[in-house]
Amino acid sequence: MPRPANPLVRERLLAAGLELMHTNGFNGCGIKEITDSAGVPKGSFYSYYASKEDFAVAVLEHYWASIDRDFGFHLRDASRRPIERVTAFFLALTDHNAHRNFTLGCLVGNMSLELADHSAEVRNKLDHIMDRWTALIAACLREARTSGDLPGDGSPEELAFVIIEAWEGAVMQGRIRQHRDSYERFATLAIPRLLGTSAVSLR
């Protein structure tokens, strides 16, 4: 009878996979490197994941859960105006990216560029994460529209998509230049124009 899955081993694999895939990319790390980093035998990998692609899907879910856990509370903070919540969320993400000198980028964006054309399984997970991310931002925008803080009559969901697309572009440029200039442009140009707010410095 097969041994039941150990959640601690699964967590160690996910933590190791997240670090290695975020740093080196999906193709830049092998299963043995992942299991060595996690401190588990290579053979045990297949007790938890059917393939490396299956593992990448789990890593993406693990990554999004960490983003939601560590930064999503900004979007749910009822003590602040909805538009302020959106700004605070991206300010916090910027500070987080600065800790690694803007070198890692966003795993969602990185995996999109590396795997979306080659893996339907990964592409579906990325699409699902984008839907969830968009829903969180759109909920704030919908509140802002109701309170009169957000001008216009466009779809909050479409505006949320545009904001995330602008953010991903800023993150990509930040990774290329390993500098915060693109994040500053996002704060001083993109966010104010999209939300009708004042510019906010990310310094």
CB atoms inside a 10 Å sphere around CB 155:
13
Residue 74: inside a domain, yes or no?
A: yes
Check whether residue 2 and residue 69 sit in a common domain. Answer: no
Residue 129: inside a domain, yes or no?
A: yes
Q: How many domains does the structure of the chain reveal?
A: 2
Distance CA 176, CA 186 (A): 16
Check whether residue 69 and residue 158 sit in a common domain. Answer: yes
First to last CA, the chain: 57
Check whether residue 40 and residue 81 sit in a common domain. Answer: no
Confidence class of residue 2 from pLDDT cuts 50, 70 and 90? Answer: very low
The structure tokens listed for 88 are: 């605070």
**Residue 104 pLDDT:** 94
The domain that holds 181 is classified in CATH as 1.10.357.10
Check whether residue 35 and residue 92 sit in a common domain. Answer: no
Q: What domain range includes position 79?
A: 52-195
Check whether residue 56 and residue 44 sit in a common domain. Answer: no
Confidence class of residue 162 from pLDDT cuts 50, 70 and 90? Answer: very high
Residue 202: inside a domain, yes or no?
A: no
**Residue 169 pLDDT:** 97
44 CB-near residues (< 8 Å, 6+ apart): 9, 35
Residue 152: inside a domain, yes or no?
A: yes
175 and 67 Cβ atoms separated by less than 8 Å: no
Q: Angle, nearest 10°, between helix axes 120-147 and 107-115? A: 140
pTM of the shown model: 0.92
Check whether residue 45 and residue 76 sit in a common domain. Answer: no
Residue 149: inside a domain, yes or no?
A: yes
**Residue 1 pLDDT:** 34
Residue 203: inside a domain, yes or no?
A: no
pLDDT digits (tens, 9 = 90+) for 67-119: 999 999 999 999 999 999 999 999 999 999 999 999 999 999 999 999 989 99
* Helix ranges, the chain (H): 7-24, 31-38, 52-71, 82-98, 107-115, 120-147, 156-177, 181-185, 191-195
Contacts from 106-112 at CB under 8 Å and sequence distance 24+? 106/168, 106/171, 107/18, 107/21, 107/22, 107/59, 107/60, 107/63, 108/60, 108/63, 108/64, 108/133, 108/168, 109/168, 109/171, 109/172, 110/22, 110/25, 111/21, 111/26, 111/56, 111/60
109 and 122 Cβ atoms separated by less than 8 Å: no
Check whether residue 171 and residue 191 sit in a common domain. Answer: yes
Check whether residue 69 and residue 152 sit in a common domain. Answer: yes
Check whether residue 158 and residue 92 sit in a common domain. Answer: yes
Check whether residue 89 and residue 147 sit in a common domain. Answer: yes
195 and 147 Cβ atoms separated by less than 8 Å: no
pLDDT digits (tens, 9 = 90+) for 21-41: 999 999 999 999 999 999 999
Check whether residue 94 and residue 137 sit in a common domain. Answer: yes
87 and 183 Cβ atoms separated by less than 8 Å: no
Distance CA 125, CA 56 (A): 9
Check whether residue 165 and residue 122 sit in a common domain. Answer: yes
The domain that holds 2 is classified in CATH as 1.10.10.60
Residue 201: inside a domain, yes or no?
A: no
Residue 78: inside a domain, yes or no?
A: yes
